[in-house]
Chain A
Amino acid sequence: MTAVGSRSTASLRHRLAERGVDVSLLFLLPALLLIVGLFVYPFSYGIGLTFQPSALVQERWGGGVLANYVAFFSDPFVFDSVGITMRLALPAALFNVLASVPVALVLRRKFRGKRLVTSILVLPITLGTVLTAQGLLIFAGRQGWLNRFLLEAGIVDEPLRLVNNYTGVMFSLIITGFPFAFLLISSYLSGIDPSLDAAARTLGAGWWQRFRRVTLPLLAPGLATTFILTFVLAFSVFPSARLVGDAMGETRVMSLMAFRAFGEQNDYQMASTIALMMGVIELGVVALVLLWRSLLYKGSTGGKG
């Protein structure tokens, strides 16, 4: 009987298996192939396209292979859409997150019909933006029930212009985004151990102190994540900007510009450039929020999520 040898007697297969490499990795293969084929490849292809500007763009804006980017930053019609998108997406996401907190806190209690209320709140998520748009056009239009009510109640003298402008798109973003933010924040809240609140109570903290010193810090990472997700939703707003907005004016968002280049001008190179810039800007905002979150608080939420 000898002392333990230092060299492994296991076969190569075993040694690979130990590092997690074996035939079961084949399970991953179909999903990976599809994502590579339908996401990674086209995406790289699209990036390549952005450096092959059409003759028209090159002639008009110059800049050689970078002409698409020169056009993006120099053409005010296109570049202004960045600001327009931000003016819609940032306030909408902020409002959705901030309004969700008190609602989620109130709905945290058990009461009759809780499931019904949450189910109704889920509705707009399922309906999607196109349907919300049709509803808004009818309900909040000049002759819709909303204006009619406001007129008859004597709150306004003439119908408010609530659709086909910035307000209409904002309404649409809140209607679809708020339930989403609310559900996420509810699930974060339920991840906070209620005994923490009870503990703070036994230590003599009032409700504001408990919220400010216990709940809010624990919720902060969740708020950041929720903000990111609602922002992502609002940022890529497309149908509502066209249907209830002013597509060539104050709601000329980036996705509309990208689609205009793609569908109407058939300039796939420029369309890819705008689409890519959308991704870059959105991920930039996401990264900023994540950075803020990591500076803010480094503990765990006390629960999964």
Chain B
Amino acid sequence: MAATAPGEKPLAASPSTWLVWAGMAAFLVFLLGLLVSVVVDSFGRQWFATWLPLEATTDWYASSWERFSLGHVIGVTVGVALAVVVISVLVGVPAAYLLARRNFPGKRFVNLLFLLPILMPPITYGIPLATVMYAFGLGRSVVAVVLVNLVPSIPFVIMTMTPFIEQINPSIEHAARMCGASMRQVFLRVLGPLLVPGILAASILVLVRTVGMFELTFLVSGPQSDTLVVAIYRAMTSAGGGEARQLVSAMAVMYTTTMLVMLIVALRFVNPTQLVAQVKEARDD
């Protein structure tokens, strides 16, 4: 695999640099091809052996909305995602604070405990968890969907928030206490406002991940508690060769649009690298 020297002038770029650029271009074209295909498909009445569909229509949107009761599905999706965000932030941020600031017996063990759900395949803990849910009669309920999504989300919030908290100088907290602030006031008046960007970033990331989470949701959800991504999967795999492709495409476009909006909002607050990078810091030690 050819590599280019970092810092070399672009004009002096070697053939290997061009190769890399070409590979990237191919990847991006492929990626855009996928996206545009789905969009075009969702607006075409029929599309077989031609470059473009013969006739444009928006019918697929209306019929998929009705057929899969997307109003309800989207309502569930939004509700689940918001609940997961709120709970995991409320629970994860104080835990992240403690792990960032304090030493206590068993801290390494606790860290490992919060790392495992991120490190393990979701199915590995998802199946036993779903079994327990069904045993408790929670199966196919919205509560179950929220609960399973908390398992990766809480550790994720902790991993995201820890660096944010570490970069706040502890003497700022000491100063607040010397000014007479109680622990609660330190949190509400000083740390809270300082952590807003981090909490916002973590919330958006958890939101995006929860909306996109397939494996865990699929294990416990039922007709009344499917999220959008599970509904699409079910439509693609339903018995009898699946639904009309365009119906699925229309759903996919709606899903993509929602995710894109969230992504654009997210990118206003966080660097793209952060979408994945915070995971590694915890894993690295």
Which residues from chain A sit less than 8 Å from chain B, CB to CB?
A: 19-21, 24-25, 27-28, 30-32, 34-36, 38-43, 45-47, 49, 98-99, 101-103, 105-106, 108-109, 111, 115, 117-139, 143-146, 148, 175, 178, 180, 183-184, 186-187, 189, 194, 197-198, 207-208, 210-211, 215, 221-222, 225-226, 228-229, 232, 235-236, 238-239, 242-243, 255, 258-259, 262-263, 268, 271-272, 274-276, 278-279, 282-283, 286, 304-305
Contact = CB atoms under 8 A, between A and B. Distances in A.
Interface of B: 1-8, 10, 16-17, 20-21, 23-24, 27-28, 30-31, 33-35, 37-38, 41, 48-49, 51, 90-92, 94-95, 97-99, 102-105, 107, 110, 113-114, 116-117, 119-132, 134, 147-148, 150-151, 154-155, 158, 183, 208, 212, 214-215, 219, 229, 232-233, 236-237, 245, 248-249, 252, 255-256, 259-260, 262-263, 267, 272-273, 275-277, 279-281, 283-284
Given A130-B214, A279-B120, A46 B131 contact: yes
B95 to A, nearest CB: 4
- The 7 closest A-B CB pairs, nearest first, are A46-B128, A207-B5, A135-B34, A20-B104, A236-B121, A31-B95, A279-B124
Given A21-B105, A197-B7, A239-B233, A275 B123 contact: yes
A28 B124 CA distance: 25
Contacts of B277: 183-184, 187, 305
Q: Is the interface of A mostly helix, strand, loop or mixed?
A: helix
B274 to A, nearest CB: 9
Nearest to A258: B123
A126 B98 contact: no
B158 A123 contact: no
Contact of A143 (B2, B49, B219): B49
B1 A102 contact: yes
A103 B131 contact: no
Nearest to B94: A27
Given A102-B1, A103-B23, A133-B236, A20 B256 contact: no
Contact of B4 (A145, A207, A255): A207
